[in-house]
Structure 1
Amino acid sequence: MKILIEELHARGHSITVIRASNSWYITEESPLYTSINIPQEIAFDNFFDVYLKKHMKAQREQASALTFFKLTKDFLSMISEAHSLSCDMLAQILDDENMVKNLMDSQYDMVLTDPAIAGGVVLAKYLKLPLVLNVRWITSGEGHFAIAPSPLSYVPVPGSGFTDKMNFIQRVQNVLFHSIIVFQQKFMVGPSYDAICDKYFEGGCDIVSLIQETDIWLFRSDFVFDFPRPTMPNVVYMGGFQCNPAQPLPTDLEEFVQSAGEHGVIIMTLGTLVNALPSEVADDIASVFAKMPQKVIWRHIGERPSTLGNNTLLVKWMPQKDLLGHPQIKVFVAHGGTNGVQEAIYHGVPVLGIPLFFDQYDNLLRLQERGGAKIIQLADVNGHSFEQGLKEVLTQDSYRQNMQRLSRLHKDQPIPPMEHAIFWLEYVMRHKGAPHLRTEAYKMPWYSYYSLDVLLVFLTAITVLLLSTLAVFRFLCCRGRRKIKTKQH
């Protein structure tokens, strides 16, 4: 979100950010925006941290069906609690008459929000402002499923681990995965927002319907990365919008990279959510790195691996985009977060993926399906498997060639993704929304959407016609038999 805010600010727009007082990433003071702080004691990152540690531990153990169901239950509970906290924060805003008056008096042109946690969506409805989403995920999973036809025969549900080529068993499983998402929305997420809607909106409302009313969806994906699927005219694809040509590295980092010579550099990061891998995994990875002729830059927080080699530089932060754009980088060892995957595509760097949770396996699967990545499950990571996978990606030219092909496809656009996104943000401001691009399908009951009522009418008409024809034949046959009997007498 910060990247969009920076671009809007650079174009002269005035921005107000509503943030929790203990916000994870969003600072209170910034030259880019004015902030409104909502008191909150419990931090979202606490929920994620506890869950992720349990999840990684379960992946390394022999996971039984009971463990799977327990992890699923814990995940749904965590998500439910996060949405409950968001609704509490929203209630604080709407109960504060002075704050609501100030928000309305400020005459904002638009609300920009990420609907994975949907308090901003409800606030936009309450303030009667046009709404633009910076989106890939919504309260009920992946955003497309809320607004566009999503045939489960070839559109894989996030979390299923399937591609767009599914056999019969996979299609059955895909439907079951979708049913979990429907259950999550109906019973774990929806009630928190229903309570807010019942309290502050006459006649109540439904959070999915509010999301479907959005004017423009700025979607953090594209079809170089994702599998082809149906979409809608108000969906604007801005996959890789955060990507730019690499900037020069800090002097010390540049010297380290250049010292690798012809062998090049491997970079590794598992994102901002993971502070440390299980110690045995980190030791196995470090021992493999120590044997490689390449230099290694590893974003690692936690206990220093005991097997760390002299060729490996541990850092707490790395300029990931600038490193990926450096010609010395040979392989990106990554967890498969959306930003990292898009940046690897932009710079054409092959990926060795170790997915940990959420959408990461699905993201990496899309790269693997296109020949640009290899996946090693966390449960399978050991010295042998990691060394084998790393050498495969390093030595087989097809990985780099495929990623560079994806990079060319991604960059071959008439308008850069960021320019595209900003155009539509300003379009909504100029025209006070974009309702003409929004389908009205979400207002239809499910039986009308699928034309079941029409089908019922057709079946009724055909049944009546068949029964009428049968009745006429029976009448004529019976009448004919009576005439024959009369003549015989």
Structure 2
Amino acid sequence: MGGVTVASALLLVATASLLTSSGVQAGKILVFPVDGSHWVNMNLLIQSLHARGHEVTVVRSATSWYIKESAPHYRSITVALPSAIIIEQEDFFVSFVVKMLAIHKEGATLSGFVKFYWEMLGTLSKIHQQASMLAVEMFENKTLMQSIRDTQYDVVLLDPGLPVGVLVAHELKLPTVFNARWVTSGEGHFVVAPSPTSYVPTSGYAISDKMNFGQRVKNTFQYVINMCIDKFIVCPHYDRLVDRYFGPDVNFYELLQGADIWLMRVDFVFEFPRPTMPNIAYIGGFQSKPTQPLSSELEEFVQSSGEHGFILMSLGTLVNGLPEEITSEIAAAFAQIPQKVIWRHAMKQPPKNLGNNTLLVKWMPQNDLLGHPKIRAFVAHGGTNGIYEAMYHGVPIIGMPLLFDQFENVLRMEERGAAKGVDATRLTRHSFLEAIQEVLHNPSYATNMKRLSALHRDKPMHPLETALYWIEFVMRHKGASHLRTESYRMPWYAFHSVDVACCLVAVLLTLTAVVVASIRFLCLRLCGRRKTKKE
């Protein structure tokens, strides 16, 4: 595959699968993606679906950052919103990281807790309020909606992180497939599958599945917080739309839970074991792929590392930089190691204390560098895309979580002995250097990651093929309702069997009352006889 690009290789794989699959017919797919790093995953699915002959239409806002209006593998519907969704603004995550790092630096204090949730909840509400307007703009545009109906789509593929597509799919009466890990209330399993807080870590609480009593209390408390945030901060924006366009008989949360298939970006080599459901297909690491040759400039730099090899550092697609006081400490630590360093650094000013062994780049072929024989470690923020790529290639991680689920992701790799986490708010050149040297010189990190890589690769079907199969399954059968539990239609008291418990308690109390009354009656009667005899 020397001269073949990565995209071409993926298209060849998808085309070969098309020729060998049975009963696959070209269909029409309406896609509602989420911008940023989520788009990287969705775009790969779209490319593969296009290669199999399907016609794909992507709904995007006019201010989308990553999602382009024109592309060879999809056509687009561009919707102008009253105001741009803030996550589509490239500088948003830089400023948001700075705010959150400052709050985390205060530590576990009451003021820090209040500031964290005040900042997070305000931002979260604004994001969903802006995103919900996409549905308003579409529903109010009768010409657009009629055009979409006339196209006669077969399925709606969407990312439920911003679940506007769920409302449109309901209006069009189309089956839905989720490309998901996150939904409005956190990790997707908590919406669709049983999630006992006794051993299933809750979104927002970085803990393993082996919890003591205190941790289980905190885990349950975090679960309640997540449910309250979802009910009172996020869902009201969509509930108002449901009431406005569908009436009181339709419930937004039931629409969210009623997806035909959940393509869950999870692999249990990485995730902790937990209950699941028959309409969940696991595609964790579906973006992983073999490496391609590096450019001559990068290859020359990598080869100059000699026997020491090189370290890769990237903070993903959404975070373009760290505060200067952190980057200068990182640069100083890198300058003290014999390894070469390739650092994705998109800020205009280079960090202070930069050593001659460090190469700054605005973009890099991350997958190809992670698969290079001279790679020694990966310094990452803990995004799932980067973790799965590192796991696929067997590269140990130095994790520097900054936002959202990154803390939980790094912890999962630490629990498996394949990563070492560092706290960005307390990072010094000495602490960072110690973390690097531990991962480089303790062979257990590399050994454990190689073991995870072997487990991750050992599958009967590549996760990308699994995703494509289930999308086409839904298209062929007009849905997958036979795999979907009816639990989401049940009221909470029926789902948790509160009514059954109350009935059993009532029966037990009735029986107890009858027994007590009978005994009392017999005792009174016996006492009455004795009194009569004495008289």
- Normalising by structure 1, we get a TM-score of 0.98
Which AA in structure 2 matches 1:114?
A: D
Counterpart in the other structure of 1:18: 59
Shift of residue 469, structure 1, vs aligned partner: 1.2
Aligned pair partner of 1:176 in 221, 233, 245: 221
| 1:44 equivalent in structure 2 | 86
Q: What is the percentage of aligned positions where both structures have the same residue?
A: 51
- Structure-to-structure mapping, 1:407-486, within 5 angstroms: 407-486=453-532
Are the counterparts in 1 of residues 58 and 74 from structure 2 also a CA contact under 8 Å?
yes
Deviation of 1:49 after TM superposition, in Å, equals 4.0
Give the partner amino acid of 2:84.
I
Q: Distance in 1 between matches of 2:218 and 2:207?
A: 9
Identify the residue that residue 35 of structure 1 maps to in structure 2: 76
In structure 1, the residue matched to 2:130 is: 85
Tell me the SS of whatever aligns to 1:352. strand
Kindly report which structure 2 residues correspond to 1:297-446, keeping only aligned pairs within 5 A, or say none. 297-302=342-347, 303-446=349-492
Residue pair 1:246, 1:325 contacting (<8 A) in 2 also: yes
What's the CA shift for 1:345? 0.8
| Aligned ranges 1:44-193 → 2 under 5 Å | 44-45=86-87, 46=89, 47-60=92-105, 64-193=109-238
1:3 and 2:44 matched: yes
What amino acid maps onto 2:532 in structure 1?
T
Counterpart of 1:268 in structure 2 is 313
Q: Distance in 1 between matches of 2:533 and 2:60?
A: 96
Distance 2:338 2:218 in 1: 43
State the alpha-carbon separation in 1 of the partners of residues 252 and 404 from structure 2: 22
Q: Distance in 1 between matches of 2:397 and 2:166?
A: 35
The offset of 1:52, in angstroms, is 2.1
Worse overlay, 388-397 or 166-175: 166-175
Cα separation, 2, equivalents of 1:137 and 1:147: 12
Whole-Å Cα distance in 1 between the matches of residues 108 and 223 of structure 2? 22
Whether the aligned pair in 2 keeps the contact of 1:24 and 1:43 (CA below 8 Å) is: no
Contact preservation (8 Å) 1:16, 1:35 = yes
1:319 deviation in Å? 0.6
The aligned residue for residue 303 of structure 2 is 258
Bigger Cα displacement from structure 2, 267-276 vs 1-10:
267-276
Structure 2: where are the runs of 5+ without partners?
1-41
Aligned-partner Cα distance in 2 for 1:56–1:479: 78
1:193–1:206 Cα contact (<8 Å) kept: no
1:223 aligns with 2:265: no
Question: What is the alpha-carbon distance in structure 2 between the residues aligned to residue 134 and residue 62 of structure 1?
Answer: 35
Instruction: Specify whether residues 371 and 430 from structure 1 end up closer, same or farther in structure 2 by C-alpha distance, changes over 3 A only.
Output: same
Q: How does 1:273-312 map to 2 (within 5 A)?
A: 273-302=318-347, 303-312=349-358
Question: Cα offset for 1:60?
Answer: 4.2
Deviation at 1:190, TM superposition (A): 1.1
Q: Which runs of 5+ in 1 are unaligned?
A: none
Q: Is the 1:330–1:394 contact (alpha carbons within 8 Å) kept by the matching residues of 2?
A: yes
Report the alpha carbon displacement of residue 161 of structure 1 after superposing the two structures with TM: 1.1
- State the Cα distance separating 1:306 from its structure 2 match: 2.1
Q: Which 10-residue stretch deviates more, 243-252 or 67-76?
A: 67-76
Within 1, Cα distance between the matches of 2:248 and 2:512? 45
Query: What displacement does 1:457 show?
Result: 1.2
CA contact 1:51–1:75 (8 Å) conserved in 2: no
Cα distance, 1:305 vs structure 2? 1.4
Native 8 Å contact 2:344 2:360 kept in 1: yes
Give, in whole Å, the separation in 2 of the partners of 1:406 and 1:174: 27
1:33 partner amino acid? Y
Q: Deviations over 1:329-356 (max 9, x none)?
A: 0000000001001111111100000100
Read off the aligned partner of 1:235 and give its amino acid letter: I
SS of equivalent to 1:145: helix
> Aligned-pair distance for 1:255?
1.2
| Deviation at residue 445 of structure 1 after TM alignment | 1.0
- Tell whether the 8 Å contact from 1:219 to 1:235 is kept in structure 2 after alignment: yes
2:241 paired residue number: 196
Check whether the contact 2:85–2:127 (CA below 8 A) recurs between aligned residues: no
Aligned partners of 1:149 and 1:231 also within 8 Å: yes
C-alpha RMSD of the superposition: 1.2
Cα shift readout 1:448-472 (whole Å, capped 9, x = no counterpart): 1111111111111111111111111
Deviation at 1:204, TM superposition (A): 4.8
| Cross-structure match for 1:237 | 282
- Structure 1 residue 62, shift from structure 2 partner: 5.8
Aligned partners of 1:116 and 1:138 also within 8 Å: yes
Tell me, yes or no, if the aligned pair for 1:335 and 1:354 is still in contact at 8 Å. yes
Number of residue-to-residue matches in the alignment:
489
Deviations 1:65-114 (A, max 9, x none): 21331121111111111111111111000011111111111110000000
Mean alpha-carbon deviation: is it higher for 238-247 or for 449-458?
Answer: 449-458
CA distance in 1, matches of 2:345, 2:104: 20
Q: Answer whether contact 1:51 1:74 (CA < 8 A) is retained.
A: no
CA contact under 8 A between 2:85 and 2:131: conserved in structure 1? no
Cα displacement string for residues 175-221 of structure 1 (whole angstroms, at most 9, x for unaligned residues): 12112211111111111001100111032533321111000000011
